[in-house]
Structure 1
Amino acid sequence: MALNVTELLAGAVRTALHAAALPAPEAVAWEVPREAQHGDYATNVAMTLARQARCAPRQVAEAIVKHLPPLPAIERVEVAGPGFLNVYLAPRWCAEALREVLLAGEGYGRSDLGGWRRYRIEFVSANPTGPLVIVNARAAAVGDALARILRSQGFQVECQYYVNDAGTQFQALAASVEVRLRQALGEPADLPENAYPGEYLVDLVRDYLARAPAGARAALALPAGERLERLGRMAVEAMVAGQRRVLEEYGTAFDRWAHETTDVRAAGLPERAIEELRAAGFLYEDEGALWFRSTALGDDKDRVLRKSDGDLTYFAVDIGFHHFGKFADVDCVIDLLGPDHHGYIPRLRAAMKALGHPEEAFDVLIVQLVTLLRDGQPVRMSKRRGEFVLMEELLEEVGRDAARFTFLTRRHDSPLEFDLAVATRQSADNPVFYVQYAHARVTSLFRTAAQQGVTVPPWGEVDFGRLVLPEEQAIIKRLLQYPDLVAGAARAREPHRVAYYLSELAGVFHPYYKAHRILTEDRPLSLARLGLCAAVGQVVRGGLGLLGVSAPESM
């Protein structure tokens, strides 16, 4: 869809600058003022060009206004303060632009911004040592919504899940399963200090015995190394299967599942990456260990890749996975990590830079923790022990839509309070209900129109010039912001912008719907208002789709 207001305004500004013999930037940044008295769009382009133009910012702004080509979209432009440009859109143009929104249909808001560049996003990637928890649900909502938004803007996106099925955590899981299995068979056995105490392992072992009783007993008779490997692999397989099931129920699909054991270690990726780092001069040995000179690339200290006992560190394995696994056949890699990984990011960036990956080709987003509340009071839900709240239990209580939308109401790197009572409330306090209800209202309106025998012609034949009320103009202007909003969310990698926008759109639509009759005796006015409501429903449906949230037709 070509209709993008900021691109239209930016083109006019560049034309004016050329006409005034002033330097013109490639991009012009716009913002929507909080107060309508400051216009519909504002830019500080005059201030950013002042030094290069060698004149005061206000002089640049006045030159832009003087040479601005006449556009049907612009009612007037004002210079404010030291050199801001405030643009006021023409009401008649806005009304007619609504037609373009409707004619674009489900393609409205999509673009080729990405130029089909290839992205790979890794998110969730929970350790296969336990069930998914509430912070995994937030990461899944953020990662999946980001992938959907990027795809809508012309990026090719692959979603990847990494299974850490090796190392000390795997060994601890295997040992914990062995103890639980012996206990289930009536043998005396105590959990070791580093064991996983969750009751979910009791359930896992019970299912194992029911499914393969002879195999379970045979596993215990194997030598220690084989026994732990067999039990550990069984547990990982069961855990990953459970994680996949919950994620699928959540509407989150992954294009690729990579396993540390088979796809990274067995493929020799860490050793290959180490050899490249050695050839580039970034490795040295000290006290029998192999070190990566990461301080040369911005890290606070050098990092061990191979310990003195010959074992690879997790960091070394991760470097190999990133370099050969994640960056294979893509232009950009995005990792979503938990807040406990803040200190890990500089060393990983250093490694990618040392291996020749441009800084802009690798990004890491931190997904902050979630505090679960009920009517403002902290709550714990898990009945299966362990110091966590299960993702599955959360979904059973509030449902997929409420969970996903609530997680996307805040920036991914901001702590979030999730109130179960609010998420299940059918009121304006519940943001997902408020937005979904806007779509349900629109579909109900069209059912009513059909029942009343109202025939709606093609939108190209409707006179939208009848939409002159301030509330109608406000809704149209909000709808016109949508393409730029989605593009901005893709550039900034901030899916919450879409959720926030939808809440604002619902906030201007519901009062209008309650205050004004849509179906009136004035047929041209009724058709124009039906078109306005249809556009709201179209954008809400599209925006919810980008977040992986449904758009119900009745509530």
Structure 2
Amino acid sequence: MTPAALADLVRTSAARVFDDRGLDHGILPEQVTVERPRNPEHGDYATNLALQVAKKAGLAPREFAQALADVISASPGVESAEIAGPGFLNLRLAADAQGEIVRQVLGAGDGYGRGDTLTGRAINLEFVSANPTGPIHLGGTRWAAVGDALGRLLEAQGAAVTREYYFNDAGAQIDRFVRSLIAAAQGEPAPEDGYAGTYVDDIAAQVLRAEPTALSLPEAERDETFRRVGVGLMFAEIKKSLHEFGTDFDVYFHEDSLHGSGAVSEVVAELKSNESLYFADEAWWLRSTEHGDDKDRVVIKSDGAPAYIAGDLAYLRDKINRGFDLCIYMLGADHHGYVARLKAAAAAMGHSPDVVEVLIGQMVNLVSGGKPVRMSKRAGTVVTLEDLVEAVGVDAARYELSRYSVDSTLDVDLDLLRKHTNENPVFYVQYAHARLSSIQRNAAELGLVLRPDADVSLLTHPREGDLIRTIGEFPSVLTKAAELREPHRVARYLESLASAYHKFYDVARVLPQGDEEATPLTYARLALCEAARQVLANGLSLLGVSAPERM
């Protein structure tokens, strides 16, 4: 019996108590909380439902808890239901009901843990979207790992997810990049407001190889050549780096296309017509304060040029017109103002502000030898995705970046991630998977075949129970991680699962030794080990991290 099934049983039992006493079911919460107590001696699970609803029903909490315990304890699969404290209910499952979780995992395989809470949702997930003026820096690398993991999580809950990269190929930053390329091609230092690093020299050289006469062209034509070829080369490098990192996108959307297609003019005209824009101080302003923003925003400047938000408005309109009912933006720490701004933009266009969701990620720092790593070999001024991968590898980089809430600044300890010890979280989890894989290989060498129908009621050791209950939490962990947009919950869960397995392995021998014969308990433990291995593999896959069979 999974925690979700037990929660359903508790609610159904509470409804029976209410029926017996003529009470209104509306008092009961739609979802009942069932959690594992901190002290295993208190039971397998606990619920505080009696404390939640008793007073609303006009009952003493312990009185309601006792009535609830009487119904639950008579249910199949429940060994006992005992009252604790002011009205908590501690629950113990029968061994066969608890072991049923093992059978569920073996039956579902790589589908175990998936749900349907987002079935029917069309979600646009925009992340990374770094300017094509240099390699992906650490902040963008964090989004590459977390964003890709979030996309997998949302899909695991049934959503149709489109991963999108907004290619900022319009604006002043591109002009500065082009001037930097031209300076490098001419053997001159970068402009004061330009970009430096060996990558600029490399791309400038590639532009000249592709267009040998570029520097001798008239100025406007020269600039356009370096813009077209140089930006294309830089963006190709960005896409290659992301692909090698395991992050790919369904759509690469070009900002420049919004201006060239007339989409910006169209959205401005639309907002003027519905009076969401007003004219003041020679400029056109969005009435964003009417929708929760801290100030109104200039959309068309006094010189007639569109402000940056004009592109944002056109881009959001384009997403909604493509049929997305939720647009998630994953932005850097300097974009807090975009939360209210984008929600106001949605409202101004006649949509619910909830069609927009903005996640803000904090900075990432590298530490080695106790000191910050600040300089890139290639980019010069920032540490890049390639630097991190070169230092620790893709798996360790993705896992570490996904392991923490994006709300917090992250210090990545390179020395720790290079260690092949249990101090290294990704090694700890992957080693558990490799160890479990070796058990199955060794079993096969002994002629022992995995039996999905093994007698799981034999799994009565406390460490077996702890491992089974941890496995059973996986579906609810995925549901909550998707709901809160927090892939780090999956990583932390995998570490707790690996810990539960290692503790089990220390006290419970799985395979027979010497001339010993396999027993029903052997097959039950083999099934348990395979269930643990499967869940570790499923969880690592959602983070985009490999599950090695040997280490």
Task: Provide TM-score, normalisation by structure 2.
Answer: 0.93
Structure 1 residues 398 and 362: CA distance shift in structure 2, 3 A = same
SS of residue paired to 1:459: coil
Q: Is the 8 A contact 1:541 1:551 kept in 2?
A: yes
SS of residue paired to 1:237: helix
Match of 1:268 among 251, 262, 270: 262
Amino acid at match of 2:148: D
Match of 2:402 among 391, 396, 408: 408
* Offset of residue 116 of structure 1: 2.9
* Offset of residue 140 of structure 1: 0.6
Amino acid at match of 1:284: Y
- Is 1:523 the counterpart of 2:519? The answer is yes
Partner of 1:300: 294
Partner of 2:470: 478
Partner of 1:64: 68
Distance 2:539 2:292 in 1: 39
Distance 1:52 1:356 in 2: 40
Partner of 2:15: 17
- Is 1:358 the counterpart of 2:352? The answer is yes
Partner of 1:210: 209
- Is 1:159 the counterpart of 2:163? The answer is yes
* Offset of residue 275 of structure 1: 2.6
Amino acid at match of 2:101: A
SS of residue paired to 2:336: helix
Partner of 1:186: none
Alignment length, in residue pairs? 541
* Offset of residue 255 of structure 1: 0.4
Amino acid at match of 1:539: V
Q: Is the 8 A contact 2:339 2:357 kept in 1?
A: no
* Offset of residue 77 of structure 1: 2.8
Distance 1:308 1:69 in 2: 74
Amino acid at match of 2:102: L
Match of 2:546 among 523, 544, 550: 550
Amino acid at match of 1:511: K
- Is 1:78 the counterpart of 2:100? The answer is no
- Is 1:180 the counterpart of 2:178? The answer is no
Partner of 2:425: 431
Distance 2:163 2:305 in 1: 30
Once the two structures are superposed, residues 2-54 of structure 1 have per-residue CA deviations (whole angstroms, 9 ceiling, x without a partner) of x7422442343244234422433322234333332444333443444356434
Amino acid at match of 2:199: Y
- Is 1:459 the counterpart of 2:452? The answer is yes
Amino acid at match of 1:414: S
Partner of 2:278: 284
SS of residue paired to 1:458: coil
Distance 2:89 2:308 in 1: 53
Distance 1:307 1:122 in 2: 27
* Offset of residue 457 of structure 1: 5.0
SS of residue paired to 1:446: helix
* Offset of residue 449 of structure 1: 1.7
Q: Is the 8 A contact 1:120 1:332 kept in 2?
A: yes
* Offset of residue 464 of structure 1: 1.6
Match of 1:238 among 233, 237, 243: 233
Question: More deviation in 327-336 or 12-21?
Answer: 12-21
Q: Is the 8 A contact 2:135 2:379 kept in 1?
A: no
Partner of 2:147: 143
Structure 1 residues 93 and 314: CA distance shift in structure 2, 3 A = same
Partner of 1:95: 99
Distance 2:319 2:434 in 1: 44
Partner of 1:335: 329
Partner of 2:194: 195
Structure 1 residues 396 and 473: CA distance shift in structure 2, 3 A = same
Q: Is the 8 A contact 1:121 1:335 kept in 2?
A: yes
Distance 2:34 2:10 in 1: 13
SS of residue paired to 2:166: strand
Partner of 1:6: 4
Runs (5+) with no aligned partner, structure 1? 184-188
Q: Is the 8 A contact 2:73 2:80 kept in 1?
A: no
Structure 1 residues 53 and 534: CA distance shift in structure 2, 3 A = same
* Offset of residue 515 of structure 1: 3.4
Distance 1:160 1:122 in 2: 5
- Is 1:507 the counterpart of 2:496? The answer is no
Structure 1 residues 18 and 466: CA distance shift in structure 2, 3 A = closer
Amino acid at match of 1:501: Y
SS of residue paired to 2:228: helix
Structure 1 residues 26 and 41: CA distance shift in structure 2, 3 A = same
Q: Is the 8 A contact 1:174 1:232 kept in 2?
A: yes
Distance 2:306 2:42 in 1: 59
Amino acid at match of 1:126: A
Structure 1 residues 96 and 398: CA distance shift in structure 2, 3 A = same
Distance 1:457 1:212 in 2: 63
Amino acid at match of 1:459: P
Task: Provide TM-score, normalisation by structure 1.
Answer: 0.92
Distance 1:173 1:103 in 2: 55
Question: More deviation in 343-352 or 395-404?
Answer: 343-352
Q: Is the 8 A contact 1:339 1:367 kept in 2?
A: yes
Question: More deviation in 58-67 or 504-513?
Answer: 58-67
Amino acid at match of 2:531: A
* Offset of residue 298 of structure 1: 1.0
SS of residue paired to 2:322: coil
SS of residue paired to 1:161: strand
Partner of 2:460: 468
Q: Is the 8 A contact 2:343 2:354 kept in 1?
A: no
* Offset of residue 411 of structure 1: 0.9
Structure 1 residues 82 and 341: CA distance shift in structure 2, 3 A = farther
Distance 1:278 1:31 in 2: 53
SS of residue paired to 1:213: coil
Amino acid at match of 2:520: P
Q: 5 Å matches for 1:482-497?
A: 482-497=474-489
Question: More deviation in 229-238 or 391-400?
Answer: 229-238
* Offset of residue 249 of structure 1: 0.5
Amino acid at match of 2:469: K
